[in-house]
Structure 1
Amino acid sequence: MNGRKVEDAEADENTTAGERATAAEGDGAGIAGQMRGVLPLWRNRDYAGWWISSLVSSLGSAMSQLAYPLLMLYSTGSVARAGVVGACLNIGGLSTTLLGGALADRYSRRRLTVGADFVQFAAVTSVAVAVAENYVNVVHIGAVALVQGMCNGIGGASMTPVLKRIVPAEQFQALSASKQGREMISRLAGPPLGGALFTIARWIPFLGDAVSFLVSALGVGMIRQPLGPDAADRAAHTSTVASMREGFAYIRTSVYLRFIIVWSALTSALLGGIVLLVIALIKERGGGPTTIGVVTALAAVGGLAGALIAPLLLKRVRSRTMVLITSWTIVVATVGIAAAPQPWEIGAVAAFLVLLVVPLTVLLESYQLRIVPDTLMGRVSSALSFGTSGLLWTAPVTAGVLADNFGVPTAMLVLSGAFVCLALWSTLAKAVHLLDE
Structure 2
Amino acid sequence: MTAPMAPASRAETPLWRNRDFALLWSGQVVSTLGARISATAMPLLVLALTGSPADAGLVGAAATLPYLIGHLPAGPLVDRWDRRRILLVSEAAAALTLATVPIALWLGVLTVAHLAVAAFVHGLCFVFFGLAEAAALPVIVPAGQLHTAIARNEVRTRGAALAGGPLGGLLFGLDRALPFVVEVLSYAAASVALLFLRRDLRAGTPEPPEPLWRAALTGLRWIWRHPLIRAAVLLIAVSNLVFQAIILVLVVRARDGGASAAETGLMLGLYSGGGMLGAFAAEWLHRYVTPRATIIGVNWVWAALLPLYLVTDAPLWLGAIGAATAFAGPLWNVVIVGYFALLVPNHLQGRVTSASKTLSWGAMPLGSLAGGVLLSAVGAGGAIVALAGVMLVTAVAATASPAVRGGAGATTG
1:84-112: per-residue Cα shift (whole Å, max 9, x none)? 00111111332221121101111111111
291, 310, 318: which one aligns with 2:282: 310
Equivalents in 1 of 2:381, 2:129: separation in Å?
37
Structure 1 gap segments, 5+ residues each: 1-13, 25-33
Equivalents in 2 of 1:435, 1:205: separation in Å?
44
Equivalents in 1 of 2:314, 2:118: separation in Å?
34
Quote the residue 2:182 is aligned against.
Answer: 208
Quote the residue 1:112 is aligned against.
Answer: 86
Equivalents in 1 of 2:85, 2:313: separation in Å?
49
- Check conservation: 2:218, 2:351, Cα contact below 8 A: yes
The Cα of 1:23 is off from its aligned counterpart by 6.2
The Cα of 1:436 is off from its aligned counterpart by 1.5
Quote the residue 2:408 is aligned against.
Answer: 435
The Cα of 1:318 is off from its aligned counterpart by 4.1
263, 270, 273: which one aligns with 2:242: 270
Structure 2 gap segments, 5+ residues each: none
The Cα of 1:427 is off from its aligned counterpart by 0.6
The Cα of 1:409 is off from its aligned counterpart by 1.2
- Check conservation: 1:99, 1:154, Cα contact below 8 A: no
Q: How does 1:137-148 map to 2 (within 5 A)?
A: 137-148=111-122
Q: Which moved more, 1:90-99 or 1:119-128?
A: 90-99
Cα gap change, 1:258 to 1:321, in 2 (>3 Å) = closer
Q: Secondary structure of the equivalent of 1:247?
A: helix
Cα gap change, 1:102 to 1:237, in 2 (>3 Å) = same
Q: Which amino acid aligns with 1:82?
A: A
Q: Which amino acid aligns with 2:408?
A: L
79, 85, 88: which one aligns with 2:59: 85
Q: Which amino acid aligns with 2:38?
A: S
1:173-219: per-residue Cα shift (whole Å, max 9, x none)? 10111011001111111111111110110001001111222222222
Q: Which amino acid aligns with 2:394?
A: L
Q: Secondary structure of the equivalent of 1:390?
A: helix
Quote the residue 1:160 is aligned against.
Answer: 134
Q: Which amino acid aligns with 1:69?
A: P
- Check conservation: 1:121, 1:210, Cα contact below 8 A: yes
Q: Which moved more, 1:164-173 or 1:252-261?
A: 252-261
- Check conservation: 1:100, 1:156, Cα contact below 8 A: no
1:230-286: per-residue Cα shift (whole Å, max 9, x none)? 1xx154332322211211121121112221221121111111001111111111111
Equivalents in 1 of 2:335, 2:176: separation in Å?
38
Quote the residue 1:259 is aligned against.
Answer: 231
153, 168, 175: which one aligns with 2:149: 175
294, 297, 300: which one aligns with 1:325: 297
- Check conservation: 2:285, 2:331, Cα contact below 8 A: yes
Equivalents in 2 of 1:414, 1:88: separation in Å?
23
Instruction: State whether structure 2 residue 314 is matched by structure 1 residue 342.
Output: yes
The Cα of 1:308 is off from its aligned counterpart by 1.0
- Check conservation: 1:107, 1:234, Cα contact below 8 A: no
After superposition, the CA RMSD in angstroms is 2.0
Cα gap change, 1:208 to 1:43, in 2 (>3 Å) = same
Q: How does 1:211-250 map to 2 (within 5 A)?
A: 211-230=185-204, 233-250=205-222
Cα gap change, 1:379 to 1:85, in 2 (>3 Å) = same
102, 105, 119: which one aligns with 2:76: 102
The Cα of 1:302 is off from its aligned counterpart by 1.3
Equivalents in 1 of 2:227, 2:7: separation in Å?
25
Q: Which amino acid aligns with 1:295?
A: M
Q: Which amino acid aligns with 1:260?
A: A
Cα gap change, 1:21 to 1:107, in 2 (>3 Å) = farther
Q: How many correspondences in the alignment? A: 408
265, 271, 274: which one aligns with 1:299: 271
Quote the residue 1:7 is aligned against.
Answer: none
Quote the residue 1:149 is aligned against.
Answer: 123
- Check conservation: 1:100, 1:155, Cα contact below 8 A: no
Equivalents in 2 of 1:374, 1:219: separation in Å?
24
1:120-162: per-residue Cα shift (whole Å, max 9, x none)? 1111000011122333300111011111122222232211111
Cα gap change, 1:317 to 1:229, in 2 (>3 Å) = closer
Quote the residue 1:9 is aligned against.
Answer: none
Quote the residue 1:407 is aligned against.
Answer: 379
Q: Which moved more, 1:319-328 or 1:107-116?
A: 319-328
- Check conservation: 1:21, 1:374, Cα contact below 8 A: no
Q: Secondary structure of the equivalent of 2:110?
A: coil
- Check conservation: 1:92, 1:145, Cα contact below 8 A: no
- Check conservation: 2:237, 2:362, Cα contact below 8 A: yes
Cα gap change, 1:61 to 1:204, in 2 (>3 Å) = same
- Check conservation: 1:176, 1:362, Cα contact below 8 A: yes
Equivalents in 1 of 2:369, 2:100: separation in Å?
24
Equivalents in 1 of 2:39, 2:375: separation in Å?
19
What percent of counterpart residues are identical?
Answer: 28
- Check conservation: 1:273, 1:395, Cα contact below 8 A: yes
The Cα of 1:381 is off from its aligned counterpart by 0.3
Q: Which amino acid aligns with 2:281?
A: I
Equivalents in 1 of 2:300, 2:383: separation in Å?
19
Quote the residue 1:28 is aligned against.
Answer: none
Cα gap change, 1:247 to 1:322, in 2 (>3 Å) = closer
1:353-393: per-residue Cα shift (whole Å, max 9, x none)? 11122112211111111111101011000110111122211
Q: Secondary structure of the equivalent of 1:227?
A: coil
1:273-323: per-residue Cα shift (whole Å, max 9, x none)? 011111111111111110011111112221111111113223334443332
Quote the residue 1:56 is aligned against.
Answer: 30
Cα gap change, 1:318 to 1:154, in 2 (>3 Å) = closer
Equivalents in 1 of 2:220, 2:138: separation in Å?
20
Instruction: State whether structure 2 residue 5 is matched by structure 1 residue 20.
Output: yes
Quote the residue 1:386 is aligned against.
Answer: 358
- Check conservation: 1:94, 1:150, Cα contact below 8 A: no
